[in-house]
Chains A and B, each alone.
Chain A
């Protein structure tokens, strides 16, 4: 079947604007994860969904970041009042049940805040 997809692949925005990043997980995967990867660094955990609920949002850096997964499938990461420091590749992954399992990663959305 299809893998994890993310849209858009690239997003350029201006400081202070609002952005939404979308993730379509593998069908049937109950767990979904968001990460942020800055240049030259490893992915940084942001949030983990189990079904529709956020099981762990301890990685969200501040209240400008928010994510939803209303029907337990597609997820949207929302960033308000973007800052230049938010520029990074945002990765989404899904796994069948939970954290101890293999995560399948999408190609990422490259966000550039000017």
Chain B
């Protein structure tokens, strides 16, 4: 059965430092994987998606994620956090459209 596990419910970083949000998935075949962001009182927005092309995927606002089949991971990274990155982030597997529980990113000045 397909599932998504976001390994951290809350991540706190300082502005200007790297961001790492971790996601592991299980799927019966090579799925499409997504990261969505949800800012307070705003709708869900796509950050990036993996659909079996390049394993390193670049998204909006400087975010990227690397698909690692051997580790069944799809971690989200950004080299330098900005205050506006503070939000809830969701990893999603297309099979069954399963969302992870979310990771709340806090950015400290």
Instruction: List the A residue with the shortest CB-CB distance to B31.
Output: A100
Separation of A106 and B43 alpha carbons in the complex (Å)? 6
- Chain A interface size band reads 20 to 34
The digit string for B76-100, where 1 denotes a CB below 8 A from any CB of A, is 0000000000000010001111111
Instruction: List the B residue with the shortest CB-CB distance to A91.
Output: B44
How many contacts A-B (CB < 8 Å)? 44
Q: Which 5 A-B pairs have the closest CB atoms?
A: A42-B99, A105-B44, A100-B32, A45-B97, A99-B94
Q: A35-B99, A100-B51, A105-B44 are in contact. List 9 more A-B contacts (CB 8 A).
A: A35-B97, A41-B101, A42-B99, A43-B99, A45-B96, A45-B99, A102-B49, A103-B34, A108-B43
The digit string for A48-61, where 1 denotes a CB below 8 A from any CB of B, is 10000000101000
Instruction: List the A residue with the shortest CB-CB distance to B95.
Output: A99
A42 touches B94 (CB 8 A): no
Please list the residues of chain A having a beta carbon within 8 angstroms of any beta carbon in chain B: 33, 35, 41-45, 48, 56, 58, 91, 93, 99-100, 102-108
Say which residue of A56, A58, A102 sits within 8 Å of B46 (CB atoms). Answer: A102
A selection of 25 A-B contacts at a CB cut-off of 8 Å is A41-B101, A41-B102, A42-B100, A42-B101, A42-B102, A43-B44, A43-B90, A43-B99, A44-B99, A45-B96, A45-B97, A56-B96, A58-B96, A93-B44, A99-B32, A99-B94, A99-B95, A100-B32, A100-B94, A102-B49, A103-B34, A105-B36, A105-B44, A107-B42, A108-B43
Please list the residues of chain B having a beta carbon within 8 angstroms of any beta carbon in chain A: 32, 34, 36, 42-46, 49, 51, 90, 94-102
Separation of A93 and B36 alpha carbons in the complex (Å)? 13
